[in-house]
Amino acid sequence: MAKNVLVILLDSLRQNHMGCYGYHKKTTPFIDKIASQGTLFETAITQGNWTAPAHMALFTGLNAFMHTADKKNFYLLPKYKTWAEMMKNAGYKTGAFTGGVIMAKDFGWERGFDVYNDEGRNLDIKTEQFLEWVKQHKNEKWFAFVHCFDIHYPFDPPEKYLSKKTLKNRYRKTAATDIPKLKEFASKGMFSKEDIEALKDLYDAGIKDADEKLKILFEELKKMNLLDNTIVIITSDNGEILFDRKEESKQLGHGLWYMFDEVVKVPIIIRCPGLIPAGKKIKPLVRHIDLLPTVLSLTEIKEKTKFHGKNLMPMIRGEKEFDLVGITEFQQHFKLMRSVRTNEWKYIKKYFEAKKVFSLKFIKNIFGYVKQFFNLSKEKKLTKTVTQDVKLFNLKQDPGELKNLAAEKPEKVAEFEKMINDLIKNNKLPDKEIQVEITDKTKEQMKGMGYL
């Protein structure tokens, strides 16, 4: 049995921009090495297409719809026991070292952690804080969560990772200092092919920088003789949209109406010699919510809490495969979008959207919007939608998600609708949200990173 657990989350790291996942550029040489020493999951799905719902699912083993994480108001509800609380109750020292902003203490993330440090955004600072804490507890068993924003916009990586063309690009300064303006330019189609390549280069440079910093963290753990008796997980909360689809209004970032694999597929790599096979790749779908029950199994912690996730150890050991379903969600006021993904199919649906301007049609439908909002906020079954925006893709025949089959396969659409309705019906959702008081400091950080 491993003594320690370390979960490393590199915010906004897109899976297919990593060498170990087939990327043609050498962005992640160190992570590639770690992947070769552990098990890599090829089809890992996040439960939220932006930071808050993804972390809520990761921290609790419960799907994002249980948390009602609205983009404008979110909080890790006290009714759900967290991963850190479970480890602490089992006698582990617990520490979290996050990049703040969405992961600031304001939103309830610190529950169960002995230490929760949200000062500093990047991995070099987080590594220093983590290692200082580990030195104090190296003779005890510990659980740590390390999170950083090196890859997340604004894009301002060290110059040594950038091409000469990118260094001279007209939007380089905007990408580093004014994300709302950059997104505005993207939505208006103002970028040339050269500009887009420069922005992708900036994003990739952030990955290279994080990869290099991660190497230092691992080297220090090895010096302390802690690395090989620690279960290490490397993952991300979501991917990133990088001008992938011209037909979509959102061309840069994550969240909102974007549920394609560029955002919902994330890396999951687990390393622990003696417990986790080295050099193994697992193709069938797994989810963030599976990590908590898997680690509890590996650490032999008995927990009565019921999870939506499954213990992946039978799959890792090659004893059986699971036919899992990955659900990803986005909520914002009167807007809701869900993606339901299996190994073969993906179903995406926008449930409703309040109009931004008043009209006779809007006034006529306003009571319907309100009724639907409360139906979705509680345990009632989904009703008819105001906006019929449905996509269905056969991923085996169309891995790029280019051909929408929803009109051709109504029986498959109905199958997914029933799946969603059954999940909502069988899970009691929160009756109300917690109104969060956000500090001025966190608000400024959120503005700087394009959240407000």
> Which CATH number does the domain 326-425 belong to among 3.10.450.50, 3.40.190.80, 3.30.1120.10, 3.40.718.10?
3.30.1120.10
Residues 253-312 pLDDT 10s: 888 778 999 999 999 999 999 999 999 999 999 999 999 999 999 999 999 999 999 999
Identify the band that residue 352 occupies on the pLDDT scale cut at 50, 70 and 90.
Answer: low
- Whole-angstrom distance, CA of residue 446 vs CA of residue 443: 5
- Give me the pLDDT at residue 423, please: 83
247 exposed, middle or buried (CB, 10 Å; 0-12, 13-18, 19+)?
Answer: exposed
Domain boundaries, the chain: 4-316, 326-425
Mean confidence (pLDDT) of the chain: 88
**Residue 86 in this model has a pLDDT that exceeds 90:** yes
Residues 365-397 pLDDT 10s: 444 444 444 444 443 333 344 345 899 999 999
* Residue 76 vs residues 49, 53, 236, 435: alpha-carbon distances, Å: 16, 9, 18, 11
- In 158-312, where does DSSP find H-type helix? 164-168, 172-177, 179-187, 193-223, 261-264, 291-298
Q: Is the overall model pTM greater than 0.85, yes or no? A: yes
What is the SS3 assignment for 355? coil
What is the SS3 assignment for 174? helix
Q: Which of 175-179, 333-337, 359-363 comes out lowest in average pLDDT?
A: 359-363
Compute how many other C-beta atoms are within 10 angstroms of the C-beta atom of residue 24.
7
What single DSSP character describes residue 450? T
What average pLDDT does range 125-144 have in this prediction?
A: 97
- Give me the pLDDT at residue 248, please: 61
Identify the band that residue 71 occupies on the pLDDT scale cut at 50, 70 and 90.
Answer: low
Domain 4-316: top CATH class: alpha beta
Q: Are 264 and 46 in contact (CB under 8 A)?
A: yes
Beta-bridge partners for 5: 143, 231
Helix or strand run (H / E) with residue 144: strand 142-148
- Whole-angstrom distance, CA of residue 278 vs CA of residue 3: 19
What average pLDDT does range 216-228 have in this prediction?
A: 97
